[in-house]
Amino acid sequence: MSSLSTAEIPLRGLTDGELVEALVDPVLDVSEIKGALAQLQGQAWYLYIGVDQRIFFGQTANVTAEITEIAANIAEEQVDQTLRDKLKEVFLPRAASLYSDRMAILPALDDIRLEDDRPTLVILERPADALPPDFVSWWEGQDLQNRVLVLTADPNAVSTLRLIARRTRAIDRVEERIRVQHGDASAQMQELLGVRGREAAGFTSALRETFKTIVFPISKSLRRVDDFRMEFDRNDYSGEQQIIDTLSKRGKLIPNDRFDEQFETLRLDAEDILFDADAVQVTSLRRNAAVRPTWYWLPRNGLDQLVRTAVQRGFWRDKDGLVEKRWERRTQVTARLDDFAPNPLETGRFLINVTAEDADTVYVSEQGPPDPAKDKQLDGRTYETAAPAVWFLAVDSKGEAKTGDVCEWRAPIRVKPDVRRLSDGYRVSVLAVPRGAQRSERRLTGQIRKQAPPSPERLSRRQAQASCASWPKSVANFPRRKRLA
């Protein structure tokens, strides 16, 4: 069992059980022995585990020694880059509903670039209890003040993260060497994977203690929230979701599921904070949302949704490229033939879809502009008629909107001939709408096309023209004077 035995097939080292058996005593917990052994394996340079799982000391240094040696020689910049990459993974915006993947991690203040449409997540290595004055001055000098989201990382914890990042980088190099020299299935690779696992666990553990404060802009200053705690769920950490939860709880972020509930507040605040005048461009609203720290953070396209909803609900108006929060309200009514209604040529009736804005009553007349005193009100949003013209007038009975213009709807005039051949000529039936044409001049004119057969001489002018006795369906017979041989 000697580690340095020179026998031909020696039994080297001790198993876990044998070590525990030798070390245990009445006041010592067995799990403490196992923990200490695991720690020792991560630090001892000459400790090995054989294929039979016996632990023994060898004459050459193990991978731990190699990792430690390489780690000591890695440049600071490389370590910081490794740490940035790892933190980028941790805070990667999976939903991208608040900040983008252009995060500023452990940056110099000069390196921070803010975006117009979304906050930029800035991770600063600063003590948790106070924001550095240089950062506050930097923020005050920014135009896009409402686009800064800061997470402070405790410098002591960051030192630990750096140490782990340094070792992680070294592990990568050792892994490369082992893969080339011994292959993926070698005992060295297994040993290395064990070391990597321990480092990863150490990184996760250090992360918990690193980020404790989240900072976001309110009014004229930055607000600090100290109860930001990193929560891991089965070793999975969604930094984005935890930031979203914290900001939602503090009212800075209005998530999609609370949009309807908060709509009225958002609308009124937007009218106060974002509108510089009664009518502004959407781009102006977007700009103010980025510049003014008193404004909320909304999920992606949230401001567009707010504008759309406010317009749909009639609080704002979108007209000529401007969003208006106040305007002189005038009723408006539009009438349009229902494209899916039965064919008027078959039914003789038109179905009209009527849409009124800023009005609760629509008056309708088939004789001219409606008179609210005597003409009837439209029941529902459709009107069925056989008339050639209908007039609609929208009225706001509450008096909030002035009565607008009358909408005049004219029936499309359609005609459809049906030719049937008789033994001595033709029977031509003509269907026409609107039937209101009965009150108009009625005339059915026929003209033989100048093509043969038949030639114009074959049908007299008298035969080609016929008065219609009835409308809309008129029938005229055109007898042939003479058969062609």
Residues of the shown chain interacting with another protein in the complex, contacts defined by CB under 8 A: 388-389, 410-424, 426, 428, 430, 432, 434, 436-437, 440-441, 443-449, 453-454, 458-459, 464, 478, 480, 483-485
Q: How far is the CB of 447 from another protein (least distance, A)?
A: 6
> Which of 220/449 has CB closer to another protein?
449
Strands across the sheet with 382-385, in order?
Answer: 332-337, 350-357, 382-385
Residue 416 CA to residue 145 CA, distance in Å, equals 68
Give me 290's structure tokens: 């980025």
Q: How far is the CB of 391 from another protein (least distance, A)?
A: 14
Partners of residue 379 on adjacent β-strands: none
Q: How far is the CB of 445 from another protein (least distance, A)?
A: 7
> Which of 146/474 has CB closer to another protein?
474
> Which of 83/335 has CB closer to another protein?
335
> Which of 132/446 has CB closer to another protein?
446
Q: How far is the CB of 376 from another protein (least distance, A)?
A: 23
Looking at residue 356, the DSSP 8-state letter turns out to be E
> Which of 281/447 has CB closer to another protein?
447
Residue 34 CA to residue 55 CA, distance in Å, equals 13
Residue 247, number of CB atoms within 10 A of its CB: 22
> Can you say whether residue 190 is alpha, beta or left, with left for phi > 0 and alpha for psi between -120 and 50 degrees?
alpha
Cβ–Cβ under 8 Å, residues 380 and 360: no
Q: How far is the CB of 460 from another protein (least distance, A)?
A: 14
Q: How far is the CB of 318 from another protein (least distance, A)?
A: 34
Give the 3-state secondary structure of residue 438.
Answer: helix
Residue 241 CA to residue 244 CA, distance in Å, equals 5
> Which of 4/413 has CB closer to another protein?
413
Instruction: Look up residue 38 and give its amino acid.
Output: A
> Which of 238/365 has CB closer to another protein?
365
Instruction: Look up residue 470 and give its amino acid.
Output: S
R_g over Cα of the chain: 42
Short-list 465, 477, 459, 461, CA closest to 420: 477
Residue 224 CA to residue 213 CA, distance in Å, equals 7
Q: How far is the CB of 458 from another protein (least distance, A)?
A: 7
